[in-house]
Amino acid sequence: MSGNFEGGCACGQVRYRLTSKPMFVHCCHCLDCQRQTGSAFVINGIIERERVVLLAGEPVAVALPTDSGRPHDVWRCPQCQTALWSDYGRRKVLVFLRVATLDEPHAIVPDVHIYTRSKVPWVRLPADVPAFAEYYDMRELWPAPSLERRQALRGSA
């Protein structure tokens, strides 16, 4: 990517900067993501919360119901309600950043496609990116530096 790691909501009240690339990028085709966005899939960049630096505004958490019962907070702009990132399990140290809120959203491409069992049939997946009917084993797919970053968070989570 070109180095522009900034992004924000639709109205501009919330602006943020990533201090690094995400650890890993999911393209999620699950029905929850489809319903919550009214779209075909969601692209989530998994990144340490502390690497998302707020430049303006203060997102607010909206709790969503989940099948698993684990909390899922979506952090949104209080003004325009754009979803900026999700905190699955209320871990606080780790967020799933909505990649499409970056100013250059296409610079980050998915590392994996997940929950393809509910993928809309007209979306064709690239042959060179791993895809899974449900989830996958992190240890097999994530690059070592990303696994180390993830491991470093476990101490603080």
Binding site for Zn ion (CB under 5 A): 9, 11, 13, 28, 30, 33, 77, 79-80
Cross-strand pairs, 21: none
123/156 Cα distance (integer angstroms): 38
- Minimum CB separation of residue 106 from Zn ion in Å reads 20
Residue of 128, 113, 131 lying closest to 42 (CA atoms): 113
Measured from the CB atom, the residue of 36 and 49 that comes closer to Zn ion is 36
Rounded to a whole number of angstroms, the CA Rg of the chain reads: 15
Measured from the CB atom, the residue of 11 and 63 that comes closer to Zn ion is 11
- Minimum CB separation of residue 119 from Zn ion in Å reads 11
Residue of 144, 145, 143, 121 lying closest to 130 (CA atoms): 143
- Minimum CB separation of residue 36 from Zn ion in Å reads 8
Measured from the CB atom, the residue of 13 and 107 that comes closer to Zn ion is 13
